[in-house]
Amino acid sequence: MVSIRDVAKRANVAISTVSKVLNHYPNVSEETRRKVNTAIAELGFVPNSIASALSSKKTGRVALVLDVNRHVQTVDEIPMQYIIGAINKAKELGMDIITVFFTMIQEMGVEEMIRYFQSQSIEGLIICGLSKQDTMLHRLVKSGKFKVVLIDAPGVAENTSSIHIDNTKAQYEVAKRFITESNSKSILYIAGKKNGYVSEERMLGMKQLSEELGLTIFSRVGNFSELEARRITMKYAAKKDAIICASDLMAIGAMKALIDMDIYRPVCGFDGISLMGYAGKQMHTVKQDFQTIAASAVEELARLMEGGSGQEIILPHKLIRMKYLDVIS
């Protein structure tokens, strides 16, 4: 393997000079810079990131922690969108993304988690969909051992930022538009998780709307489960005008149930996953750009790692109607 040493020899300069050229230090003369660069080209030198990381104590390694259910709901495309967004941005910034699943760390105590990430030389974490019940992960974040960006969970500190859309507003807006257009009077709302951060925010949006419109909204917790949404729909939909769900996946479960029950009710979703295009002619939903969200998370983490301090970032959403043909073309 050709090293910085060989380059130095060939260019007739010191090792440190080569390093300075490599890292774009200012005080290197144009001539030396040229000499070094031609030597690099001639030798086909590639800097060794491992050695660089050891010496500089900066690995640029970031863990993307995902809540992936290995067996249930494999059609959920959101994690993949996060991965794509994060990896592309990381490449741009010269960072490395190590993907980690909740299942891999859920049995660990805080100490073990810290050891795990430290042994991987990880400097920062992007945690997606942290819920209130994840005590250990919360403590890990609070430990201050890592810089953290939370997607879809609150929490701002010296070492922690938070990124999400305005869930309350989005739920309010999409529901308002949906109710107005479908002219519905009685609504079944299939909420997310009890005690879930985004679930509560979305629920709040529904509350605000119900007060504004003077509607009472009948709601049940669907736990973001397609199957549970199906059950709830089977049980309650007949007596309601329309169904609003806190996620597209639940909306699809509801839609499928309605088809099986052979009754029609308009359904409104949340997220804008492409599977929603398969559910009905055109489905009202909130479109979140998960790739952009993840990319912003990586950028924000880079900022934290350079000494910036935590902040809350609210990204925009869109109200859309999803159609099959739009999705596949």
Partner DNA sequence: CGTTTTCTGGAAAACGTTTTCTTAATCATA
Partner DNA sequence: TATGATTAAGAAAACGTTTTCCAGAAAACG
Are 299 and 148 within 8 A, CB to CB?
no
Beta-strand relationship, 283-287 and 318-322: antiparallel
Q: Is 328 in the site for a copy of itself (CB under 8 A)?
A: yes
The verdict on 6 binding a copy of itself (CB under 8 A) reads no
Q: Does 239 bind a copy of itself (CB under 8 A)?
A: no
What are the backbone angles phi and psi of residue 5, rounded to the nearest 5°?
A: -60, -45
Q: Which two tokens stand for residue 238?
A: 């007949």
Record the tokens describing residue 277, joined without a space: 């295009």
Q: Which of 204, 227, 234, 320 binds a copy of itself (CB under 8 A)?
A: 227
CA distance 87 to 74: 21
Q: Which does 278 bind (CB under 5 to 8 A by kind): DNA, a copy of itself, none?
A: a copy of itself
Q: How far apart are CA 173 and CA 319, in angstroms?
A: 8
- Rounded to whole angstroms, how far apart are CA atoms 141 and 310? 12
- By CB under 8 A, tell whether 38 contacts a copy of itself: no
Residue 283 φ/ψ, nearest 5 degrees: -110, 130
Nearer to DNA, 8 or 190 (CB): 8
Half-sphere exposure of residue 90: CA atoms within 13 angstroms, side-chain side: 25
- Pair of tokens at residue 147: 């810089």
51 part of the interface to a copy of itself, by CB under 8 A: yes
**Full strand arrangement of the beta sheet holding 160-165:** 96-101, 61-66, 124-128, 147-151, 160-165, 312-315
From DNA, a copy of itself, none, which one binds at residue 32 (CB under 5 to 8 Å depending on kind)?
Answer: DNA
Q: Does 231 bind a copy of itself (CB under 8 A)?
A: no
- Closest approach, Cβ 328 to a copy of itself, in A, equals 5
Q: Give the strand pairing for 217-221 and 242-245.
A: unpaired
Asked if residues 246 and 206 have their Cβ atoms less than 8 Å apart, the reply is no
Of the residues 14, 15, 41, 46, which one makes contact with a copy of itself according to CB under 8 A? 46
- Report what 91 binds from a copy of itself, DNA, none; CB cut-off 5-8 Å by kind: a copy of itself
Question: Applying CB under 8 A, what is the total number of residues that bind a copy of itself?
Answer: 54
Binding site for DNA (CB under 7 A): 1, 3-5, 12-17, 19-20, 22-23, 26-29, 31-32, 45-48, 51-52, 54-58
Determine how β-strand 242-245 pairs with β-strand 312-315: unpaired
Q: Which of residues 71-130 bind a copy of itself (CB under 8 A)?
A: 72-75, 77, 79-81, 83-84, 87-88, 91, 96-101, 103-104, 111, 115, 118-121
CB of 306 to a copy of itself, least distance (A): 20
Query: Is 15 one of the binding residues for a copy of itself (CB under 8 A)?
Result: no
Residue 26's binding partner, choosing from a copy of itself, DNA, none, with beta-carbon cut-off 5 to 8 A by kind? Answer: DNA
- Quote the crossing angle between the two packed helices 110-119 and 135-142, to the nearest 10°: 60
Site for a copy of itself, rule CB under 8 A:
44, 46-51, 53-54, 59, 68, 70, 72-75, 77, 79-81, 83-84, 87-88, 91, 96-101, 103-104, 111, 115, 118-121, 226-227, 230, 252-253, 256, 273-275, 278, 291, 324, 327-329
